[in-house]
Amino acid sequence: MTRVYIQAGLRRVVYKRAGGKCEYCLLQEDDTSFTHHYEHVIPLRHGGATTANNLALACLECNLAKGTDLTTFDPLDGNITRLFSPRTDQWDEHFELKNAMIEGKTAIGRATVYFLRFNDPLRMIQRQALIRIGRYP
């Protein structure tokens, strides 16, 4: 894994744009034990740049699951499908929150839900608790 220094001003831009939420699963940084990461949507190893247009705020779980991947298989039809991009895609077009479960509405949504493990049991328990107290999404 390549470590890149991201200047404080650029980190502020990304954090403010995201409103402190993971741009993949929408988990607020204040509701986690770990600070969110500044994630390269297109990883450096694939030619991505360290710019505001290529950085997203991501929770630990989403960032570790995504790694340097750009695609996976759509669990519905098995086709290779790109992952959700917070820089070019709208969350509500690809995902729907049903109770504490995040469901994919499109191939991109389904592939991302599966690959980033949005609905792992512990993540759903956390979302259920946050929904009950009005902190999610």
pLDDT recorded at residue 3: 76
- The Cα-based distances of 30 to 53, 95, 122 in angstroms read 24, 22, 17
pLDDT recorded at residue 1: 57
The answer to whether 84 and 77 have CB atoms below 8 angstroms apart is no
Series of mean pLDDT values for 10-residue runs along the chain (137 residues): 86 98 98 97 96 98 98 98 98 97 98 98 98 97
The answer to whether 21 and 14 have CB atoms below 8 angstroms apart is no
pTM: 0.96
In whole angstroms, give the CA distance from residue 34 to residue 64.
12
pLDDT recorded at residue 2: 62
The answer to whether 94 and 108 have CB atoms below 8 angstroms apart is yes
Joined together, the tokens standing for residue 57 give: 């705020």
